[in-house]
Amino acid sequence: MSYAETLIPPQPAPRAIAKPMTASRLGGYMLVAFWALLAALLVYTVIAGWDPDKFTRYGPRYLHGLWVTLSIVALSVFFGAILSLPLAMARLSNNRLLNWLAYCYIYFFRGTPLLAQLFLVYYGLGVFRPQLEAIGIWWFFRDAWYCGVFAMTINTAAYQAEILRGAIESVPHGQREAAAALGIHKAIAFRKIVLPQAFIVALRPYGNEIILLIKGSAVVAIITVLDLMGETRYAFSRTFDYQTYLWAAIFYLTIVEALRHIWAAIERRLTRHLKR
């Protein structure tokens, strides 16, 4: 027996104290039971109403709509990211005119609904058809798919610009001062020192923006784009079966969940040096 055990003999573990059933705990249990019941009811509804003929007939259309949705979102995010960089730099600029113009752009596209912006592009620009034909770009704005990509691009660019601006401002100013002390040019310091750190900070907000854009892309179905929601509306107009929308919801949920896991893996990979 050690000296410590002689002075302090081992004691039994304290008895577990039963937690009282409070109103908040009871409400939590009831809420969990409600959602579990709702999930079970949803699964039962899907299984009971399963129609192989409808799935065989409209399944390929759903897959085509899924591809259209993913292509629209991917292009919008890509071109929006390109457009967001000069917008973010303008917001950080000391030039009042550039700062004001970028602020007005971001204020408008963040403050108005995506659906209104889509209508302004698809229907509103038709007023300027002679001018657009004169400069040779009417072919772009007369196509619903291109209008959907364009509207979503200018919308997400505003959100991405604010995300990037906040991320750049979160990088300590001492990083720039250290780069200047080493004789590194401002542009090189921004590209190789500030921007990589800002990208890590902005990574999670970027993921949230992409998820919101995936769900918001359903509005392009209103202007006759046969994306996932457009194909769902087509299937419902032929079958009048509400499960067509249920399957669309499952597709959207699957996309979002897959993207969430992929984004989390990317974040873990890029921030592994920050974990101890």
DSSP the chain: --HHHHHS---PPPPPPPPP--HHHHHHHHHHHHHHHHHHHHHHHHHHT--HHHHHHHHHHHHHHHHHHHHHHHHHHHHHHHHHHHHHHHHH-S-HHHHHHHHHHHHHHHHS-HHHHHHHHHTGGGGGHHHHHHTT-HHHHTSHHHHHHHHHHHHHHHHHHHHHHHHHHHS-HHHHHHHHHTT--HHHHIIIIIHHHHHHHHHHHHHHHHHHHHHHGGGGGGGT--SHHHHHHHHHHHH--THHHHHHHHHHHHHHHHHHHHHHHHHHHHTGGG--
pLDDT at position 109 over 90 = yes
pLDDT at position 21 over 90 = no
| pLDDT class of 126 with cuts at 50, 70, 90 | confident
pTM of the shown model: 0.81
pLDDT at position 2 over 80 = no
The fold of the 54-274 domain, in CATH, is: MetI-like fold (1.10.3720)
Task: Tell me what pLDDT residue 247 has.
Answer: 87
- The domain segmentation of the chain, as residue ranges, is 54-274
Task: Tell me what pLDDT residue 193 has.
Answer: 87
| pLDDT class of 104 with cuts at 50, 70, 90 | very high
Q: What mean pLDDT comes out for the span 11-21?
A: 76
